[in-house]
Amino acid sequence: MQEASTLTVAPAEWLATATRLKADGFDLLCDLTCVDWHPEPDRFEIVCQLYSTQTQGWQRFKTRCSEAAPPPTLSILWPSANWFEREVFDLFGVRFAGHPNLTRMMMPDDWVGHPLRKDYPTEGYR
């Protein structure tokens, strides 16, 4: 498997580019996750892996955002983005704009903090 080409866009163009990619035939959203580049200002890098069931092509799709200005949800284009974004919210604290059900998923509802952030200690807060 070859590495897919990567497309990086600003959060403002996130939804428009995603719509275009979907129209280009990338109908399967395989994965959506986040990388925390703390302490850079735009610390969260949202990474999507797209796949086309027709051409069998891969595409990686990225944006960088801060905690205050998260990108809009992709769950209106690919329903499967729903849980992936919920997981990113739970573990990184990125609040995707317009997400239908942004609640805790892996951690208990009353958990404080987002464990996959780089400023969250591996042993947890004691």
Binding stretches for another protein (CB under 8 A) = 1, 3-4, 27-31, 33, 35-36, 47, 49, 53, 56, 58, 60, 78-80, 82-83, 87, 91, 104-110, 115-116, 120, 122
Is residue 74 within 8 Å of residue 15, measured between CB atoms? yes
Nearest residue (CB) to another protein, 28 versus 69: 28
Contact by Cβ (8 Å): 90, 99: no
For residues 16 and 63, the answer to whether their CB atoms sit within 8 Å is no
Closest contact distance (angstroms) between CB of 118 and another protein is 8
The answer to whether 106 and 87 have CB atoms below 8 angstroms apart is yes
- Which is closer to another protein, CB of 12 or CB of 87? 87
Query: What 3-state DSSP class applies to 83?
Result: helix
Comparison of 69 and 107: residue with beta carbon closer to another protein: 107
What are the tokens at 46? 């949202």
* Least distance to another protein, CB of residue 105, Å: 6
